[in-house]
Amino acid sequence: MYKNRRSRALAPLSSTQNKTLTNSNLLTSISSIHPVASFAENVDPGPSTAKRIKPSQQQNSSQNDNLFEIPSSQNPTQARFSSQRSIMARTQSILGNQRQPKNYFENVLIKCGVGLEAMECYVLTLNHLKFVNKVREEIRSHDTFPENITEFVRGVADAIQTYMNLKKMFSGCTLSLPSSDNIYHSQESLIKDLLMIDFLQVHLIEVLFKKIETFVGDDETLKLEVPYVDLILCELKFLNIVEHGDIVSLKFFEVFQLATTNYQQVIIRALPDIIDIGRHDEALEKLMRIIPDDTHLLTFSNVDTFGNMHLNARNQSELRKKIINHMRFKASLECFPSFVKFILRINIDESETLPQVSIIYRKNVFI
């Protein structure tokens, strides 16, 4: 029945209909595919939907995770993880509770990881070597370098105006390092770290000797609980006295001539450490001119200091004669040990040492 029946041929689609069908099939295929993140995004796949994270958020998250990452050499225990977080929290607390800096000096300290809030000392969140390098780089990289040095040193001068801040500047720092569970009390002061920076030294010499001047004219300041002049002179020994020997020597004797007799002895004790060895003979000659009275010049502490100086044969012989003469007529017995120690110093360039000692012995000046 159906043998000779033919199917009716379908009419060909027009170009418009063909295009519509193709687009429909393409949309159907695309809708079946899960969304894919672009190169500018990252996908955080969840149980049901994909959460898109911006690259900046991913980078911050990675950095925060690294902060609390436990070193591979340590056991990843819960206690160690908590300790790591507590250290970071402590460091962030130190730096996060900072007051606003008063000047450029304090601004640099804050940028270099120094806590200013502690009353008795400065708190460093990195070791002294890293701190010195960071301060050096911070000042040197400033747009106005080297003009900004003056502004920085002016801030140092402002920071030591009061006794409390002066003590803080010259006291040992506290180290609160992110890599350690403990807080360390260092023997190194903030001013010593600053003196390690070569281009600051000349400016700090001016500031520190000017501060000494405020003390040495009045013996009442010797009664203060903290020996401020001794503190400052002790830190000055870290100067490059070879390179800056001229200005150090000049400032030393400017301050010395303004000092009382008691403070002069304090200053003389520091002489071997802050005056270059090549200038010791010149320094002794100046002292003998400034202090003509042997009673004030030849105290036991002064003579001990002279014994630590590098003197030529002529000056050493002249000083020995002064000491011998002083022992005969004016010196008290408590000074004799220091005097004898100096007299018995042997200089290969001298030929008069033993005869002078023999004269003292024959005249029985020790009895």
pLDDT band at residue 177 using 50, 70 and 90 as cut-offs? confident
Structural contact between residues 277 and 310, judged by C-beta atoms closer than 8 angstroms:
yes
User: What integer pLDDT is reported at residue 87 of this predicted model?
Assistant: 45
Residue 101 reports pLDDT greater than 70: yes
3-state class (DSSP) for residue 184? strand
The percentage of residues in the chain with a pLDDT greater than 90, rounded to a whole number, is: 55
User: What integer pLDDT is reported at residue 330 of this predicted model?
Assistant: 79
In order of 41, 73, 155, 185, the CA distances from 83 in angstroms are 34, 15, 37, 20
Nearest in space to 103 (alpha carbons), one of 58, 148, 68, 167: 148
Give residues with Cβ within 8 angstroms of 125, minimum separation 6: 91, 94, 95, 113, 114, 115, 175, 176, 177, 178
User: What integer pLDDT is reported at residue 119 of this predicted model?
Assistant: 83
Mean pLDDT of 66-74: 54
Which pair of tokens denotes residue 261? 């007799």
The residue whose two tokens read 């590098």 is: 310
The residue whose two tokens read 């007051």 is: 99
CA atoms of 104 and 155, how far apart (whole Å): 7
Give residues with Cβ within 8 angstroms of 221, minimum separation 6: 215, 228, 229
Which pair of tokens denotes residue 330? 């004016």
- At 174, the amino acid letter reads T
DSSP single-letter state for residue 199 = G
Q: Which residues pair with 44 in a beta bridge?
A: 51
CA atoms of 316 and 347, how far apart (whole Å): 8
User: What integer pLDDT is reported at residue 324 of this predicted model?
Assistant: 87
Mean pLDDT of 199-209: 97
Mean pLDDT of 22-50: 48
- At 319, the amino acid letter reads L
Nearest in space to 169 (alpha carbons), one of 209, 120, 102: 120
CA atoms of 69 and 282, how far apart (whole Å): 61
3-state class (DSSP) for residue 176? strand
Which secondary structure element, helix H or strand E, spans residue 50, and what is its range? Answer: strand 50-53
In order of 90, 180, 291, 336, 362, the CA distances from 325 in angstroms are 65, 61, 16, 12, 14
What rounded mean pLDDT belongs to the chain?
80
CA atoms of 185 and 346, how far apart (whole Å): 43
Residue 2 reports pLDDT greater than 60: no
Structural contact between residues 277 and 241, judged by C-beta atoms closer than 8 angstroms:
no
